[in-house]
């Protein structure tokens, strides 16, 4: 049993903290929103009066927060409260630069740190089947792995500080681009009189095969569990996809990588979210793409 502070008990953090409790760890939680604290308490999380109080009692700290600025601010606030040698894990999706800054702050304070963003969404957080992409030293990763295993199925060490975030934004750039590609193919098939099922049957076993098609098909029917069969309720919202695509474009600009399709995907998701669909599943962009044809 490890004593763990969990800061940020939202859609993802709430069920992740609950899985740590189920695995037998003692979890001290904190969130600025009362409803999140109450939901976590109902799952066995001991709620602290502040993030610093949760951290002072713990050997491991996990943060699951909206963006880089939140992570840097919260780590700045809680690092002085931690015992020397505490392991800090950030599982939020944030920019690589903030992740590396958070690592540096932790090392200066005599702590271990790992960036460990996740893939798998709220469903994966609930089922403890998340994939973790981790960045940090071999020693810090070895300490983090057994903790992450209580919340996920695949734990991949991607290299030094920030490389977990780098893997996350590269993966999600592929996802954003591939979803738009699959949606365009279904929209074209509709114009050509080709049924959704026929396109699916061919492409899912041919060179067009990809996760956006076979697991998350953006039209109702071929994959009964995809959000298209559930009114495009997320799943993974268009605004979160836009966030991750923007992170990929910031990183491309900063590093000098050419990502023209990533840039186009970011623009399309910005238009889609800007038209009031940010809360819908990201596969719902198929409606928007059909609309661009003027029909």
What positions carry a catalytic annotation?
168
The tokens 């491309």 sit on which residue?
252
Binding map of ligand NAD across residues 240-279, x = CB under 6 A, - = no contact: x--x------------------------------------
Burial class (CB in 10 A: 0-12, 13-18, 19+), 204: middle
Q: What are phi and psi of 133, to 5 degrees?
A: -115, 115
Beta carbons of 203 and 185 less than 8 angstroms apart: yes
Which member of 4, 5, 13, 62 binds ligand NAD (CB under 6 A)? Answer: 13
DSSP annotation string for 199-250: HHHHHTTSTT--HHHHTT-SSSSSSTTSGGGGTT--SSBHHHHHHHHHHHHH
Which member of 4, 20, 30, 90 binds ligand NAD (CB under 6 A)? Answer: 30
Site for ligand NAD in 76-105 (CB under 6 A): 92-93
Of residues 74 and 180, the one with the C-beta less far from ligand NAD: 74
Which member of 11, 145, 246, 290 binds ligand NAD (CB under 6 A)? Answer: 11
Which residue's CB comes closest to ligand NAD? 10
Which range binds ligand NAD by CB under 6 A, 11-19, 190-198, 212-220, 274-282? 11-19
User: To the nearest whole angstrom, how small is the minimum distance from the Cβ of residue 74 to ligand NAD?
Assistant: 5
Beta carbons of 80 and 106 less than 8 angstroms apart: no
Instruction: Decide the pairing of beta strands 130-135 and 118-119.
Output: antiparallel
**Residues of the shown chain interacting with ligand NAD in the complex, contacts defined by CB under 6 A:** 7-13, 30-33, 36, 51, 64-66, 70, 74, 92-93, 118, 121-122, 236, 240, 243
């Amino acid at each position: 049993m490890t004593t763990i502070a969990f800061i940020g008990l939202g859609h993802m953090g709430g069920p992740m903290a609950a899985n740590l409790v189920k695995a037998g760890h003692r979890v001290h939680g904190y969130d600025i929103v009362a409803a999140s604290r109450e939901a976590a308490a109902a799952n066995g999380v001991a709620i602290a009066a502040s993030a610093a109080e949760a951290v002072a009692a713990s050997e491991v700290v996990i943060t699951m927060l909206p963006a880089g600025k939140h992570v840097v601010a919260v780590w700045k606030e809680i690092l002085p409260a931690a015992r020397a040698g505490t392991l800090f894990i950030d599982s939020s999706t944030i920019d690589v630069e903030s992740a590396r800054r958070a690592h540096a702050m932790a090392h200066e304070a005599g702590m271990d740190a790992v960036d460990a963003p996740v893939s798998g969404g709220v469903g994966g957080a609930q089922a403890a089947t998340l994939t973790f992409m981790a960045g940090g030293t071999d020693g810090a990763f070895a300490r983090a792995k057994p903790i992450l295993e209580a919340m996920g199925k695949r734990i991949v060490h991607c290299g030094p500080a920030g490389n977990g975030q780098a893997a996350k934004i590269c993966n999600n750039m592929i996802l954003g681009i591939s979803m738009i590609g699959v949606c365009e193919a279904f929209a074209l098939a509709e114009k050509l009189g080709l049924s959704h099922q026929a396109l699916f049957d061919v492409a899912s076993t041919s060179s067009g095969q990809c996760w956006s098609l076979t697991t998350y098909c953006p039209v109702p029917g071929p994959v009964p569990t995809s959000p298209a069969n559930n009114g495009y309720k997320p799943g993974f919202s268009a605004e979160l996809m836009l966030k991750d695509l923007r992170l990929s474009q910031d990183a491309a600009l900063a590093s000098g990588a050419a990502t023209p399709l990533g840039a186009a995907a970011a623009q399309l998701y910005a238009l889609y979210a800007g038209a009031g669909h940010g809360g819908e599943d990201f596969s719902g962009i198929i409606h928007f793409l059909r609309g661009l044809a003027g029909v």
